[in-house]
Amino acid sequence: MQGSKAGEKGILDLLRKLVDIDVNFNAQTISNHVIDHLNDPLNVRTTARKLGSSGVPQHIAHQSLLLKALQRRDFEVACNVVSAYE
């Protein structure tokens, strides 16, 4: 399920606020509760950039994308995540 632009903006704003109050994320939380609400979540570079600009550490963003790709059994996207992180 992909979110609307308002939904994506709301999710990213919420992530920024959580980072501001020192909430730590793990890959499973971002994978399960955030990625599907972003526009074009399979675009690895764009999604990682959006998460990073919201304060999610890049290693968590990439782990989340990798986890989501593997859960979907989308090995092409999983390879893209690994390539983008190198």
pLDDT along the chain (86 residues), means of 10: 66 93 92 91 90 93 94 92 81
**71: domain range?**
5-85
- Please give the model's pTM, rounded to 2 decimal places: 0.84
Q: What is the pLDDT of residue 21?
A: 95
Distance CA 14, CA 71 (A): 25
Q: What is the pLDDT of residue 40?
A: 87
Q: What is the pLDDT of residue 25?
A: 86
Distance CA 6, CA 25 (A): 22
Q: What is the pLDDT of residue 3?
A: 45
Q: What is the pLDDT of residue 86?
A: 66
How many domains does the chain divide into? 1
